[in-house]
């Protein structure tokens, strides 16, 4: 991710329907020519002036005034000063950013839609937007365009698009070593705001950050099943599950909710934007739990002693192993000069999520997506599932087609089954890590199918024509990706929940 700047919340539509994605009518100086044109037309008609009258007053042809009012040209400030004088208003009145009337707002929205990619892609003819267009027809057209745009947006997240968005995001993260200085500074500012002295961030300090940002916390038993938390921005409340079922760290859902608020996240524009927001929120939450100013000296000392360990980082900051592993990838390359990779693999052998900047080659599909791809049985992330001892860290060298890598891995349970979480580095950098003395070593020839995709020949000869497995497919195998502004979230359920819990106004 080359930038962590997020878009502000989307401005609500002026219609009762969904908002239409506007075509660009803003110019480099921030001037919106459509709004400007409608303000000039509104003021001209109020004064009973014709196009010829205004044109004569400013020394321009009526056709030029019409172009100005329709937003087809960007005027110079000197011309706008003449227009303001002719209309008898201050220049600031012309430059206001709000439409002069509801009718004008609807006309602007329809004009933007007609100039945008939606009309072009549908091959639709243009509707003349003028005073002859009845108000009810204008309302219906804008609402219809908004509905079409919403439906297209909701159904745009095809599996192919999602996989491509994941691949692009991972490439951007790799390009900057999974380190985001802007988010580190956000974390630093928040910790200063509560006078955090450094080290682990306890539950009390987490609540202090919420209070510092003006939020009260409410633990409830009926949180919508599709959410980890719900933020009521109107009443500055954050709702969290009582007991935090399914979460190994009760601080994370709260910090992620606060991160989205701090970063100004609005409704995601598309699935890629949704993924970026999730990565940013998770990153900022981890940067608060393991502050850079405390974690980096701890890791640098461990490196100097050649005793780098994800377990030690976990224990020092009292976080889950996966959080410590993620955070290690944020800091290892930037501050320690060590390239790394991270993997989370389901017990079924499929890759759940991963990151690398050390040259390891993950299994991928034709689009470059890695999620759901089978991981080689010889890799540490798969071998660890076969161990009797799942409490001790496991270390292994793996010779692959892209070089030799050392990894450490642990297995953790979840409601979706067991997952292994692994952190690794190329052989040239293993000297800094605890566990480098391991004698465990395997060789992987993947993607060569004879490595582990195909069964050994004796087994195949014995069972190929004498067996028929009944597959247990993932529930999502044939389903489309969840639709909606926030994929997978039942918006109606969330709004009904907020209605139940919002403070009653007298």
Q: Name the residue with higher pLDDT: 421 or 13.
A: 421
pLDDT(1) > 50 = no
For the ranges 29-38, 122-131, 283-292, the maximum mean pLDDT occurs at 283-292
Tokens of 202: 């306890």
Tally of CA atoms within 13 A in the half-sphere of 309 that contains its CB: 17
Structure confidence by residue, pLDDT tens digits, 264-323 = 998 887 788 888 999 999 999 999 999 999 999 999 999 999 999 999 999 999 999 999
pLDDT(383) > 70 = yes
Tokens of 460: 């195949």
Distance CA 195, CA 189 (A): 10
* The domain boundary residue, chosen from 154, 181, 213: 154
**Residue among 437, 181, 427 nearest 296 (CA):** 181
Laid out side by side, the sheet with 341-346 consists of 351-356, 341-346, 419-426, 403-412, 394-400, 441-443
Are residues 347 and 204 both part of a single domain?
Answer: yes
Indicate the pTM of the whole model.
Answer: 0.68
Residue 2 is predicted with a pLDDT of 35
* The domain boundary residue, chosen from 405, 428, 451: 451
Are residues 125 and 271 both part of a single domain?
Answer: no
Are residues 37 and 176 both part of a single domain?
Answer: no
498 found inside a domain: no
Lowest mean pLDDT among 286-295, 380-389, 429-438, 488-497: 488-497
* The domain boundary residue, chosen from 114, 129, 154: 154
Are residues 149 and 204 both part of a single domain?
Answer: no
Are residues 357 and 308 both part of a single domain?
Answer: yes
Which element (helix H / strand E) includes 204?
A: helix 203-212
Which residues neighbour 494 within 8 Å (Cβ) at sequence distance 6 or greater? 224, 226, 227, 230
Residue 206 is predicted with a pLDDT of 95
Distance CA 223, CA 228 (A): 8
Q: Average pLDDT in the 155-178 region?
A: 82
Are residues 172 and 130 both part of a single domain?
Answer: no
Sign of the alpha-carbon torsion through 18, 24, 28, 33: negative
Residue 485 is predicted with a pLDDT of 56
2 found inside a domain: no
Q: What is the DSSP letter of 216?
A: E
Residue 247 is predicted with a pLDDT of 53
Share of the chain above pLDDT 70, in %: 86
Residue 132 is predicted with a pLDDT of 85
Q: Name the residue with higher pLDDT: 85 or 478.
A: 85
192 found inside a domain: yes
For residues 283 and 172, is the Cβ–Cβ distance under 8 A?
no
Query: What's the mean pLDDT when you consider all of the chain?
Result: 85
398 found inside a domain: yes
Are residues 107 and 140 both part of a single domain?
Answer: yes
Are residues 187 and 299 both part of a single domain?
Answer: yes
Question: What b/e readout covers 194-215, taking b as 16+ CB neighbours within 10 angstroms?
Answer: bebeebebeeebbbbbbeeeeb
Q: Name the residue with higher pLDDT: 244 or 163.
A: 163
Structure confidence by residue, pLDDT tens digits, 472-504 = 655 444 444 555 556 667 788 888 898 999 898
Distance CA 453, CA 444 (A): 11
Q: How confident is the model at residue 51 (pLDDT cuts 50, 70, 90)?
A: very high
Q: How confident is the model at residue 390 (pLDDT cuts 50, 70, 90)?
A: confident
pLDDT(382) > 80 = yes
* Total tally of structural domains belonging to the chain: 2
For residues 376 and 382, is the Cβ–Cβ distance under 8 A?
yes
Residue 191 is predicted with a pLDDT of 96
For residues 370 and 357, is the Cβ–Cβ distance under 8 A?
no
Q: Name the residue with higher pLDDT: 494 or 119.
A: 494
Distance CA 169, CA 176 (A): 11
Are residues 254 and 363 both part of a single domain?
Answer: yes
Are residues 126 and 220 both part of a single domain?
Answer: no
Lowest mean pLDDT among 16-25, 222-231, 479-488: 16-25
Q: Name the residue with higher pLDDT: 186 or 481.
A: 186
Helix (H) and strand (E) counts in the chain: 20, 9
Are residues 249 and 228 both part of a single domain?
Answer: yes
Residue 307 is predicted with a pLDDT of 97
Q: Average pLDDT in the 397-405 region?
A: 96
Which element (helix H / strand E) includes 82?
A: helix 77-87
pLDDT(75) > 90 = no
Q: How confident is the model at residue 23 (pLDDT cuts 50, 70, 90)?
A: very low
Q: Average pLDDT in the 77-92 region?
A: 92
Q: Average pLDDT in the 379-405 region?
A: 93
Residue 410 is predicted with a pLDDT of 95
Radius of gyration of the chain (CA): 29
341 found inside a domain: yes
Cα dist from 499 to 109, 210, 229, 289, 502, whole Å: 31, 22, 15, 32, 6
Q: Structural domain of residue 181, as residue ranges? A: 164-451
Residue 18 is predicted with a pLDDT of 36
What pairs with residue 395 in β-bridges? 408
Burial of 349 (0-12, 13-18, 19+ CB in 10 A): middle
Residues for the chain: how many in total?
Answer: 506
**Residue among 21, 274, 14 nearest 149 (CA):** 21
Q: Average pLDDT in the 31-42 region?
A: 88
User: Residue 44's domain is classified under what CATH number?
Assistant: 1.10.260.40
Q: What is the DSSP letter of 60?
A: -
Question: What b/e readout covers 9-21, taking b as 16+ CB neighbours within 10 angstroms?
Answer: eeeebbbebbbbb
Are residues 344 and 430 both part of a single domain?
Answer: yes
Direct distance between the N- and C-terminal alpha carbons of the chain, in angstroms, rounded to an integer: 47
Residue 155 is predicted with a pLDDT of 55
Residue 506 is predicted with a pLDDT of 62
């Amino acid at each position: 991710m080359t930038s962590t700047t997020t878009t502000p919340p989307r401005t609500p539509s002026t219609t009762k329907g969904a908002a239409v994605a506007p075509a660009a009518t803003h110019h480099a100086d921030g001037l919106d020519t459509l709004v400007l044109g409608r303000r000039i037309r509104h003021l001209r008609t109020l004064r009973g002036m014709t196009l010829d009258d205004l044109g004569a007053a400013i020394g321009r042809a009526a056709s030029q005034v019409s172009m100005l009012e329709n937003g087809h040209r960007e005027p110079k400030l000197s011309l706008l000063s003449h227009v303001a004088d002719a209309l008898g208003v201050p220049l600031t009145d012309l430059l206001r950013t709000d439409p002069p009337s509801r009718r004008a707002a609807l006309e602007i929205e329809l004009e933007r839609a007609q100039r945008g990619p939606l009309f072009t892609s549908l091959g639709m003819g243009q509707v003349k937007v003028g005073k002859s267009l009845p108000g009810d027809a204008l309302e219906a057209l804008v609402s219809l365009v908004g509905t079409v745009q919403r439906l297209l947006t909701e159904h745009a997240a095809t599996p192919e698009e999602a996989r491509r968005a994941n691949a692009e995001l991972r490439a951007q993260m790799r390009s900057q070593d999974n380190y985001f200085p802007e988010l580190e500074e956000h974390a630093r500012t928040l910790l200063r705001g509560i006078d955090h002295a450094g080290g682990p961030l306890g539950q009390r300090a987490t609540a202090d950050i919420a209070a510092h940002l003006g939020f009260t916390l409410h633990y409830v038993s009926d949180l919508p099943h599709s959410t980890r938390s719900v933020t009521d921005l109107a009443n500055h409340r954050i709702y969290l599950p009582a007991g935090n079922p399914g979460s190994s760290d009760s601080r994370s859902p709260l910090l992620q909710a606060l991160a989205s608020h701090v970063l100004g996240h609005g409704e995601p524009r598309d699935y890629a934007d949704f993924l970026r927001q999730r990565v940013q929120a998770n990153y900022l939450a981890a940067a608060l739990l393991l502050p850079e100013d405390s974690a980096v000296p701890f890791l640098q000392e461990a490196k100097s002693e050649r005793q780098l360990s994800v377990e030690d980082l976990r224990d020092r900051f009292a976080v889950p192993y996966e959080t410590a592993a993620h955070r290690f990838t944020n800091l290892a390359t930037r501050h320690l000069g060590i390239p790394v990779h991270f993997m989370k693999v389901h017990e079924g052998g499929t890759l759940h999520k991963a990151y690398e900047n050390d040259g390891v080659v993950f299994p991928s599909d034709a689009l470059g997506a890695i999620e759901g791809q089978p991981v080689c049985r010889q890799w540490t992330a798969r071998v660890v599932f076969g161990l009797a001892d799942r409490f001790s860290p496991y270390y292994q060298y793996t010779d692959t087609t892209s070089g030799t890598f050392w990894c450490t891995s642990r297995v953790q349970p979840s409601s979706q089954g067991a997952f292994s979480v692994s952190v690794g580095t190329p052989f040239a950098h293993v000297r800094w890590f605890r566990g480098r003395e391991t004698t465990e070593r395997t060789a992987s020839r993947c993607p060569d199918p004879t490595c582990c995709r195909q069964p050994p020949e004796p087994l195949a000869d014995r069972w190929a024509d004498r067996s028929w497995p009944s597959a247990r497919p993932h529930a999502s195998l044939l389903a489309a990706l969840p639709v909606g502004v926030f994929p997978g979230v039942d918006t109606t359920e969330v709004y009904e929940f907020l209605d139940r819990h919002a403070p009653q106004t007298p």
